[in-house]
Each structure stands twice: as structure tokens, then as C-alpha cells.
Amino acid sequence: MSTPKLKAPRGTHDVLPEQAAARARVEAAARAILEGAGYERIETPAFEATELFARGVGASTDIVQKEMYTFADGSGRSLTLRPEGTAPVCRAYVEHGMHKLRQPVKLWYLSSFFRYERAQAGRQRQFWQVGAEALGSSAPAVDAESIVLLAGLLRELGVAGLRLRLSSLGSRASRAEYGERLRAHLHAHADELASEVRERIDLNPLRAFDSEHAGTRTVMVSAPRLLDFLDREDAAHFAEVRALLDEAEVAYEVDTTLVRGLDYYTRTVFEFTSQELGAQSGVGGGGRYDGLVEQLGGPATPGMGWAAGIERILLAGQQPAAASPAIDLYVAFEQDGRPEGSGARLAFGVLHAARSAGLTAQMELAGRSLKNQLGHANRLGARYVAIVGAGETTLKDMQGGAQETIATDTIVHAVLRGLRDL
Ligand code: HAM
């Protein structure tokens, strides 16, 4: 009986070496753009107390109701694999007293997150996000800067077919008043709604804007719009964010039906979508969350941020051809058939000396014939190949084709000189 093969769980995937270069490029671009704007890297734990997300993300959201990987640890504490990064960053801000630092505190992360969702292309159960959070300032310029930075990152990574949707949810108070009006509208048209929308009228009426159901969509056309309920300050804040985006020449559409799947948002919300991504078109999104830090036990602190999915950026972006870095030296040797063979020992010594001198080097590890070692070195893009012998070594210049026989203990010196003279 053969042993069954194991596979990675549904909705997860391996990042294979050939995909690593594209990811490294996303990370390098994010670092350059965000650190250039004063954001500093933070990493929070992969799991947190379940209560953080119940309180932070919102008990009525899909994430908390059905998508969390929650488990009890050995001592019975309820823990949850992080489904998102904003609540953990706010928890860290409070826990480390970051309100005492100069504000705003700007933090970025690139980490994996976990949601039990229906897996499909661009929707994973373990996925990666790059995110940026600015805590401690309610200035509209923070909102605009944050959005402009994500626009710049997506542009830099060649994400095609981009659209930016923008709205404002106002304060909790204006949203509460609006919620009542929206509920009344939905109750008045309850018969025309999809059953899952009808069941959630009282719990989360805004989600009705998300429905694909034809009857629901018709009802929503005449539904009251949140933007008409903003108070004077929220309306002025939104107008300023829009003016700043115009200033930065970032195109957007005001979309009053924009709903985000997390409860902490106040004022600005936005989402970038890409036409390149079928159904899962959201590449990145975020908004302002002025009450969240306080809700997690910290001082009243405004916040603004976003996260973008790495898998979706890669699906919608342009991938440069993968090129593995060439090496300076390949150390080859004549096989003498003994595992403790003197050829292998000599080669290992040369390899070590080469690396100590700062060269990139590899040695033969697979028992190939000399001819095949040369072919392998060629595929690796080695600049020099040393075929080592007891006293003498043949050093081959793979670019120019020249070959010389020199004392084994002078190889590293010869390669260094050759590279310098290029
Ligand atoms: P989110 O919209 O839930 O926001 O996720 C942000 C991005 O993560 C999405 O636009 C998408 O690209 C990616 N994403 C989400 N779920 C999945 C999945 N199952 N598979 C693959 N990619 C996915 C947040 O998470 C907020 N924390 C953003 C934020 C930061 N708001 C303020 N600050």
C-alpha cells in the first residue's frame, strides 16, 4: 500500500521559488514608497485574543460571524488567527503607549491573514496584505496622502484597469440617523428583497448595497444615501479630501453605495478595483476609523489606513520575467567515487574561501560528470568555473572563454582580479 500524498489545505498556497521574485518586488516597492513617506514597519502576532476582533472588526460583520479561525489554546483561552491588520495595529498602539510619541504615528506591514471564505482565484483562506495605518491625526491631508500612496504603489506595480471608489460614512451619530431611515426604506420594500438581506435589515442594513439580487438592487436605487446625512464637519472633511485628491491628480468616483466589510469606519472610505480581476475585483481599500483605538481601551485617537491583497496585486499587475541572479564562481571537481573524496574536500575549501572573500559561489553537490558540471555552471550563469585539483586548478572564464591553470590556493585571488578588471 502506498502512503497517501498530503496537499496544502484548500484556500492556501505555497509561494514557490519562481514566484518569490515577484513578491520581493512588491515588498521592495511598498518599502520604498511607504518609508519614503515616513511609515515605519510593524509586525504583530499571527494570532490575537478573539475579543480584539469581536470588539474591533464588529460582531455583526461576516468576518466575525463566519470567517474567523478561532481556537482554544492549551489553557482554554480563545484565540483567533488575524483576519485583518487594523485592529492588531491599534492594539499595539495602545499597548506600547504610542500616543506619547510624535503624532501621527505611521506604520506599515506586510503579513499573512486568515479568513474562512469560499476559496477561488484571488480569494484565499490564507492571503497576504500590505497595509499602512496612520494614527493620531484627523487632518484630511492624512486621508488624501494615504490614498495617494496606495495609488502610487499600484501604479508602480503595473496594476491595470484601476478604478478608485470613494465615499464618506460620516460620524457614528449621523450614521445612526441614516441607519434608521434606511431600515424604514428596507422594511417598506421587504417583499422585494433577497431573503438574506431581509434577515439583516436590523443588524446591518448597509450591506443591502452589496447585494447582487435583482429585486434588492431595484429597491436600493431609491434608497436614501448616507452622503445626504453627513453633518457640517463631516461634509467639510470629505470636501477637503476630495480637493486634495484633485490636487494630486488622482481620479476617483464618489460612490454612495460603497460598503466595506468592517464596522470600524468613520468618514472617508475607499476601494481600488481592477478590471483584470473577475469577481474578486477589490485590490485594496480602507478608510478612516476614528473611534477604534478608544474602543480598544486607548485614548481617543483618530486613524486612517488601507490594506491591499498581494495575490490580487500579482494577478492584476505586470510581472517582469524572473531572472535568477548569476554567480561569480562555480567550483567543479573530478568525482573520485568516494563520499569523503578528496576532490569534494578541496572544492569545499575553495567554496568557503570564495564566500569569505565576498564572492557568490556554489560547488558541485550532485555527483555530475565534469562535462555536466560545466553545463550546470552555465545554466546558473556562473562567471568563472574552477575545476579544482590537488595542487593545480583550471580556471575557466565562462564569458570570454579563456582558460588558465593556476595554483589552487590562488583561485579566489584570480577571480577577484578578473571581476575587477571587467
Ligand atoms: P479588506 O477590504 O477586508 O480591508 O481587505 C483589504 C484587501 O485584502 C482586499 O482589497 C483584498 O485585496 C485583500 N483580501 C481580503 N480578503 C482576501 C482573501 N480572502 N483572499 C485574498 N485577498 C483578500 C481590510 O482588511 C482592512 N484592515 C483595511 C484597512 C486598513 N482599513 C483601514 N486600515
Asked if 78 and 119 sit in the same domain, the reply is yes
User: In terms of domains, do 24 and 78 share one?
Assistant: yes
Q: Out of 110, 127, 266, 270, give the residue to mutate to test ligand 1, the one with the largest number of ligand atoms within 8 Å of its CB.
A: 127
In the predicted structure, residue 339 carries a pLDDT above the cut 60: no
| 269 and 364 inside one domain | no
Residue 345 and residue 250 share a domain: no
Look at residue 270 in the predicted model and tell me its pLDDT. 98
List the single range of 32-41, 204-213, 397-406, 412-421 with lowest mean pLDDT: 204-213
Q: How many CB atoms lie within 10 A of CB 325?
A: 8
Rounded to whole angstroms, the Cα distance separating 312 from 138 reads: 30
Which helix (DSSP H) or strand (DSSP E) does residue 313 occupy? Answer: helix 310-316
Residue that is last in its domain, among 295, 316, 337: 316
CA gap 161, 149 in Å, rounded: 18
Rg of the Cα trace of the chain? 29
Q: 402 and 288, same structural domain?
A: no
On whether both 113 and 260 belong to a single domain, the answer is yes
Same domain for 301 and 338, yes or no, is no
Atom of ligand 1 nearest to the CA of 284: 10
Summarize pLDDT for 37-62 with one digit per residue, the tens: 999 999 999 999 999 999 999 988 88
Enclosing domain of residue 384? 327-420
Lowest mean pLDDT among 145-154, 318-327, 396-405: 318-327
Q: Ligand 1 in contact with 341 (CB < 6 A)?
A: no
Residue 31 in this model has a pLDDT that exceeds 90:
yes
pLDDT confidence tier of residue 338, bands split at 50, 70 and 90? low
Is 10 a domain residue? no
283-293: pLDDT as tens digits: 999 999 999 99
The larger pLDDT score, comparing residue 196 to residue 247, is at 247
Most confident of 25-34, 276-285, 318-327: 25-34
One domain for residues 240 and 143: yes
Using CB atoms within 10 Å of the CB of residue 9, give its burial: 0 to 12 exposed, 13 to 18 middle, 19+ buried. Answer: exposed
Instruction: Pull the grid cell for residue 366.
Output: 550532485
364 within some domain: yes
Same domain, 357 and 385: yes
CATH of the domain at 386: 3.40.50.800
Same domain? For 264 and 120 the reply is yes
Percent of the chain with pLDDT over 90: 81
Instruction: Over range 19-43, report the average pLDDT.
Output: 96
What's the burial of 77, exposed, middle or buried (CB within 10 Å: 0-12/13-18/19+)? exposed
Q: Is 84 helix (H, G, I), strand (E, B) or coil?
A: coil
Look at residue 181 and tell me if it is in a domain.
no
Ligand 1 binding pocket includes 88 (Cβ within 6 Å): no
pLDDT of residue 322: 64
Predicted local distance difference test score (pLDDT) of residue 182: 93
Q: How far is the CA of 131 from the centre of ligand 1 (A)?
A: 9
Look at residue 3 and give its three-state secondary structure. coil
136 lines ligand 1 (CB under 6 A): no
pLDDT at 282: 94
Question: pLDDT tens-digit profile of 369-385?
Answer: 999 999 999 999 999 99
261 ligand 1 Cβ < 6 A = yes
Using DSSP, state whether 97 is helix, strand or coil. coil
Return the CATH number at 91. 3.30.930.10
Q: Is the pLDDT of residue 142 over 80?
A: yes
Question: Of the candidates 316, 340, 355, which is a domain's last residue?
Answer: 316
371 and 409 fall within a common domain: yes
Residue 189 within a domain: no
Asked if residue 161 belongs to a domain, the reply is yes
- Whether 356 and 277 map to the same domain: the answer is no
Q: How many domains does the chain have?
A: 2
Q: Is residue 146 in contact with ligand 1, taking CB distance under 6 Å?
A: no
Nearest CA to ligand 1 atom 15: 309
